[in-house]
Amino acid sequence: MFFTKYFSIAEMKAWSLDQRQKGKTIGFVPTMGALHEGHLSLVRIARQHSDTVVVSIFVNPLQFAPHEDLDRYPKTLEKDVELLKKEGVAVVFIPKASEMYSPHFQTVVEVTELSKHLCGNSRPGHFRGVATVVLKLFQIVNPHIAIFGDKDFQQRLVIARLVKDLGLEIKILAGPIVREADGLAMSSRNQYLSLDERKRACVLYEALTKALTMFQSGERNSARIIMKVSEMIDKVSPTHVDYMKICDAETLEEVWSIQKKAILAVAVYFNKTRLIDNVILSHPERSEGSV
């Protein structure tokens, strides 16, 4: 039986408890909606590793700063539900903000060190909001497995750390970056781009691919790789480069010489649209991802 937005938090908890009592494993994919193939790829991973799948759709106000795009974040609810139904999802859980955050809500969760870097540095409080809402969703859905995409690499590390530090019995799985035919990483925010911005945004993939080629050819100096990436991106005149860094893939501390698995992460604005992307830089025998 297929369920959608009509579940309250209490009903969602009861459904999950019933599934567990029946011996079913629950896979969970938290989203903010405006679904695309990247989200659906995570759903398919969940289906492969569990008996039943829950997808949440909740645009979490706690992770948006006042000047960000909370009010205009894309909403395609009916389309999202139909896509998930076709993917065989058992429950689409669509809680209300008023139920998730009561008027006197004042408890938050923070993963202190991982949240300092990259997006956490340019979006203060963002990962506090992410960690808080994901922990709440974990408590409600009570999954055995949860899947997060590697386009939001830092987010996945933050959640994995939260799960480990709090002793939650949830396995976190990663889904690879899913890209458009021209290489642009799929994102709900891509629809903000004008035709010209959309065309120019492809440079992110091109620059990351060049960085990976340099690394595979033996380059280990972060500054030289960043210089080349910067040159390529600057040629298309983005509105603003938020960050462009090579970091340790476990701690997210910036590294100047790549001696073990690292991540090159970029965040670039085209007009008001902020796009993020990344590529893993590691030796072939240890590689766990690519552009």
Residue 168 sits in the same domain as residue 193:
no
Which tens digits make up the pLDDT trace of 163-195?
999 999 999 999 999 999 999 999 999 999 999
Residue 168 sits in the same domain as residue 143:
yes
Assigned domain for 212 exists: yes
CATH number at residue 104: 3.40.50.620
Which residue range is the domain that position 275 belongs to? Answer: 188-282
Contact 173, 144 (CB under 8 A): no
Between 126-141 and 153-165, two packed helices, what is the crossing angle to 10 degrees? Answer: 60
Residue 196 sits in the same domain as residue 144:
no
Residue 199 sits in the same domain as residue 245:
yes
Assigned domain for 137 exists: yes
Task: Name the pTM for this structure.
Answer: 0.95
Residue 101 sits in the same domain as residue 160:
yes
Reading the block at residue 159, the tokens are 């959640």
Res 291 pLDDT > 90? no
Assigned domain for 3 exists: no
Which tens digits make up the pLDDT trace of 66-120?
999 999 999 999 999 999 999 999 999 999 999 999 999 999 999 999 999 999 9
Residue 131 sits in the same domain as residue 234:
no
β-pair type (26-31, 52-57): parallel
Which tens digits make up the pLDDT trace of 186-232?
999 999 999 999 999 999 999 999 999 999 999 999 999 999 999 99
Assigned domain for 2 exists: no
Q: What is the average pLDDT across 13-33?
A: 97
User: Which amino acids are annotated catalytic?
Assistant: 39
DSSP for 89-130, written as a single string: -SEEE---HHHHS-TT-------TTGGGSTHHHHSTTHHHHH
Last residue of a domain, one of 146, 175, 204: 175
Assigned domain for 182 exists: no
Which tens digits make up the pLDDT trace of 243-276?
999 999 999 999 999 999 999 999 999 999 999 9
- Predicted local distance difference test score (pLDDT) of residue 9: 94
Residue 141 sits in the same domain as residue 270:
no
Per residue in 5-30, is it b (16+ CB within 10 Å) or e — as a string? Answer: eebebeebeebbeebeeeeebbbbbb
The DSSP H or E segment spanning 233 is helix 222-234
Q: How many domains does the chain have?
A: 2
CA distance 14 to 7: 10
Residue 167 sits in the same domain as residue 223:
no
Last residue of a domain, one of 151, 175, 199: 175
Assigned domain for 291 exists: no
The DSSP H or E segment spanning 85 is helix 77-86
Residue 19 sits in the same domain as residue 148:
yes
CA distance 170 to 160: 9
Q: Extract the runs of DSSP E, i.e. beta strands, from the chain.
A: 26-31, 52-57, 91-93, 145-149, 171-175, 240-248, 262-270, 273-281
Residue 195 sits in the same domain as residue 140:
no
CATH number at residue 256: 3.30.1300.10
Residue 47 sits in the same domain as residue 99:
yes
Assigned domain for 231 exists: yes
Residue 105 sits in the same domain as residue 243:
no
Assigned domain for 101 exists: yes
Percentage helix, strand, coil for the chain under 3-state DSSP, each rounded to 5? 45, 20, 35
- Predicted local distance difference test score (pLDDT) of residue 290: 39
Contact 206, 183 (CB under 8 A): yes
Rg (C-alpha) for the chain, rounded Å, is 19
Contact 280, 290 (CB under 8 A): yes
Question: What single letter denotes the amino acid at residue 72?
Answer: R
